[in-house]
Amino acid sequence: MEKRTFLKTGLLVSVGAVMAPFIQACKSTVSAADKPAGNVLPAPQNRRAAAFTLPPLPYDTAALEPYVDKLTMEIHHGKHHQAYVNNLNDAVKGTVYADYELEDIVSRITAADSDKKIRNNAGGHWNHSFFWQIMSPGTSAAPEGKLAAALTSTYTSVDKFKEEFTNAAKGVFGSGWVWLCVAKDKTLFISTTPNQDNPLMLQIAGKTGTPVLGLDVWEHAYYLKHQNKRPDYISAFFNVVNWKEVGARYEKAIL
């Protein structure tokens, strides 16, 4: 055996010996096969007393015209989001999640079939509540401060970030969301999730992090105005992004 190969092999063997118990321990907690249905994280301290309710829109339903039309907004908020709220209240009854706060459900929900209705509707409620907040009429036209600096250093420019976000949004097959998130190491990343999943779903999302910007690319979000033209909807969205809010969420996430 060549000396270098021997050293490398020797090193790998010793690393392997040291890491084995650790790897074994990790395996025993994350193995998909024996992942329990129900919450994997410890039960939360805070308990919810009241039923989930639809949060009011922070602006009038016509406020985002012409980029988001009034009728879409009325249906999207008043019907779709309301349905997620109603179905979530119904779905958590009699389950371990019955008195969990929304964020606690989202972080603990699993991919088990028995969690599916809660997963879809808790995700739907969280995602839409977030979505209304990160849009606003007549706000700052561009990101500023720390967020602008981070977008520039990560994507070379804000325009380049928009391009990557747009491409990710176009690439979602069927219904889902595209996100700009802050990872645990405080770096920015763009990701997509199917259906009503989101990057806060620790047991489910491919990449987890704190969303600071998100776009609903379900057809119900744009079909009335843009029909099948998702790219038109995405570019209209950038006219109503509440960059102040996104920037504030970014600064909180990097603390």
By CB under 5 A, residue 104 contacts Mn ion: no
In the complex with Mn ion, which residue's Cβ is closer, 76 or 151? Answer: 76
In the complex with Mn ion, which residue's Cβ is closer, 213 or 221? Answer: 221
CA distance 215 to 238: 10
Least distance to Mn ion, CB of residue 76, Å? 6
Least distance to Mn ion, CB of residue 218, Å? 5
In the complex with Mn ion, which residue's Cβ is closer, 189 or 223? Answer: 223
The answer to whether 193 and 199 have CB atoms below 8 angstroms apart is yes
CA distance 192 to 199: 8
Size of the site for Mn ion (CB under 5 A): 3
Least distance to Mn ion, CB of residue 238, Å? 18
Least distance to Mn ion, CB of residue 138, Å? 23
Strand order in the sheet with 176-182: 188-194, 176-182, 210-216
Least distance to Mn ion, CB of residue 117, Å? 17
Q: 38 — alpha (psi -120 to 50), left (phi > 0) or beta?
A: left
Contact code string over 69-88 relative to Mn ion, x by CB under 5 A: --------------------
Long-range contacts of 118-122 (CB under 8 A, 24+ apart): 118/88, 118/91, 118/92, 119/196, 119/197, 119/201, 119/204, 120/84, 120/87, 120/195, 120/196, 121/84, 121/85, 121/87, 121/88, 121/91, 121/196, 122/88, 122/97
Contact code string over 196-235 relative to Mn ion, x by CB under 5 A: --------------------x-x--x--------------
Q: Which two tokens stand for residue 175?
A: 């219904």
The answer to whether 157 and 235 have CB atoms below 8 angstroms apart is no
The answer to whether 230 and 170 have CB atoms below 8 angstroms apart is yes
Least distance to Mn ion, CB of residue 77, Å? 9
In the complex with Mn ion, which residue's Cβ is closer, 155 or 218? Answer: 218
In the complex with Mn ion, which residue's Cβ is closer, 223 or 238? Answer: 223
In whole angstroms, what separates CA 226 from the centre of its chain?
Answer: 24
Name the closest residue to Mn ion (Cβ): 216
Least distance to Mn ion, CB of residue 49, Å? 27
In the complex with Mn ion, which residue's Cβ is closer, 214 or 247? Answer: 214
In the complex with Mn ion, which residue's Cβ is closer, 205 or 248? Answer: 205
Contact code string over 151-180 relative to Mn ion, x by CB under 5 A: ------------------------------
Q: Which of 46, 1, 249 is nearest to 134 (CA)?
A: 249
> Which residues of this chain interact with Mn ion, rule CB under 5 A?
216, 218, 221
